[in-house]
């Protein structure tokens, strides 16, 4: 029934090119056919529709009102078909799955689990995008994403993973000749390491930094006119660099359970004070809706979900 209502597909493709260029000549060059062939396809389309789609002048063409309506519909339809076809070709032809997460999440949580996944599924190609840029994390090229704060990503099936917990960490080396801070306010006497504010802007998340952490635990005097200033220290533009500095004994940083938890369990980092901030911000695994039944995507997504 649908096929009977549709004009010829070749005519629609030819019309789209001619309408986009507003030129039969340029459309013919793009489609590798003659200008006469383009003209015949458009004429046949108009006969099928029962109305003109172009105003023809001596040296130019313009869309009619009906032609404008058709161009909008054809552009949307062909564009959607092209996107879906690209997704199918990419996953079916190469077996490659693209997964994206922040630099910190990729370095400290994702990569160890990807290595374990590869041992069990050696034939599945996994392409990891590690970026602190929100646009890259939500790109159309991404099949799965480990993202934060939004469980309604359009075109994705989402699975809640955990809430973000922040607490101060340092290396055993840093504490070798120093007294371990027991209270939140004790940290003000230590060398604190920071993330660049621009990082949070690029990711598009509210900052979980030292000012926010001290404010959450109501450190006395911090929000008054004669407040004790937060100690200045090294500032880094990404989380892996920050943690590397902590591991080398350069100071104390805010750790996040999903990135520093394994290092704490291995004894490479030491959690400080009993002040753990459960920020309430959720982390999610987002899977492209059109790929949720793909066997390789299912295997990787279940592997990751079972890692929690």
Please give the Cα distance from 292 to 302 (Å, whole number): 11
Of 98, 293, 301, 105, give the one whose Cα is nearest residue 205: 105
Please give the Cα distance from 87 to 81 (Å, whole number): 10
Please give the Cα distance from 37 to 154 (Å, whole number): 41
pLDDT tier at 227 (50, 70, 90 boundaries)? Answer: very low
pLDDT for 205 equals: 79
- The single residue listed with the structure tokens 């070749």 is 10
pLDDT in tens, 29-75: 888 788 888 889 899 988 988 999 898 877 788 999 998 998 898 88
Measured CA angle at 242 (ends 216, 231), to 5 deg: 50
Contact 36, 24 (CB under 8 A): no
**Mode of pairing for the β-strands spanning 156-170 and 277-288:** antiparallel
Q: Which residues of 97-113 are buried (b: 16+ CB within 10 A; e: fewer)?
A: bbbbbbbbbbbbbbeee
pLDDT tier at 233 (50, 70, 90 boundaries)? Answer: confident
pLDDT for 91 equals: 53
Q: Give the Cβ contact number of residue 145 at 10 Å.
A: 24
pLDDT score of 280 more than 80? yes
pLDDT for 37 equals: 85
pLDDT tier at 3 (50, 70, 90 boundaries)? Answer: low
Mean pLDDT throughout 210-214?
A: 90
Q: Which domains are delineated in the chain?
A: 2-84 (1.10.10.10), 93-160+283-305 (3.40.190.10), 162-281 (3.40.190.10)
pLDDT in tens, 110-162: 998 898 898 888 889 999 999 988 888 888 889 999 987 655 567 788 898 88
Please give the Cα distance from 7 to 280 (Å, whole number): 53
- SS3 state at 9: helix
pLDDT score of 78 more than 70? yes
pLDDT tier at 267 (50, 70, 90 boundaries)? Answer: very high
pLDDT score of 95 more than 70? no
**Segment (H or E) for 166:** strand 156-170
pLDDT tier at 27 (50, 70, 90 boundaries)? Answer: confident
Range list of H helices, the chain? 2-5, 9-21, 24-31, 35-49, 65-94, 103-105, 111-120, 134-137, 197-203, 210-216, 239-247, 257-265, 295-305
Structure tokens at 277: 């901030």
210: Cβ contacts below 8 Å, ≥ 6 apart:
192, 194, 230, 254
- SS3 state at 236: strand
């Amino acid at each position: 029934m649908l096929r009977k209502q549709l004009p010829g597909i070749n005519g629609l493709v030819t019309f789209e090119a001619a309408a986009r260029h507003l030129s039969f000549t340029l459309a013919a060059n793009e489609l590798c056919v003659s200008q006469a062939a383009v003209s015949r396809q458009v004429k046949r389309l108009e006969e099928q529709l029962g109305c003109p789609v172009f105003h023809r002048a001596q040296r130019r063409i313009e869309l009619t009102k009906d032609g404008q309506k058709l161009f909008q519909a054809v552009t949307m339809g062909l564009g959607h078909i092209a996107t879906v076809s690209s997704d199918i070709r990419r996953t079916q032809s190469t077996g490659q799955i693209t997964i994206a997460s922040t630099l910190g999440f990729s370095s400290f949580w994702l990569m160890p689990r990807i290595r374990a996944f590869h041992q069990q599924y050696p034939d599945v190609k996994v392409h990891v995008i590690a970026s602190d840029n929100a646009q890259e994390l939500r790109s159309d090229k991404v099949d799965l994403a480990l993202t934060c704060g939004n469980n309604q990503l359009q075109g994705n099936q989402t699975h809640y993973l955990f809430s973000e917990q922040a607490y101060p960490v340092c290396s055993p080396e840093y504490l070798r000749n120093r007294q371990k801070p027991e209270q939140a306010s004790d940290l003000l006497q230590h060398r604190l390491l920071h993330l660049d504010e621009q990082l949070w802007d690029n990711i598009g998340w509210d900052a979980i930094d030292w000012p926010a952490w001290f404010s959450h635990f109501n450190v006395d005097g911090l929000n008054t006119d004669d407040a004790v200033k937060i100690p200045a220290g090294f500032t880094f533009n990404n989380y892996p660099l920050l943690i590397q500095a902590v591991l080398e004994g350069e100071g104390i940083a805010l750790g996040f359970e999903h990135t520093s938890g394994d290092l704490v369990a291995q004894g490479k980092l030491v959690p400080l004070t009993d002040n753990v901030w459960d920020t309430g911000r959720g982390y999610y695994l987002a899977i492209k809706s059109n790929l949720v039944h793909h066997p390789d995507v299912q295997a990787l997504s279940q592997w990751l979900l079972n890692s929690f």
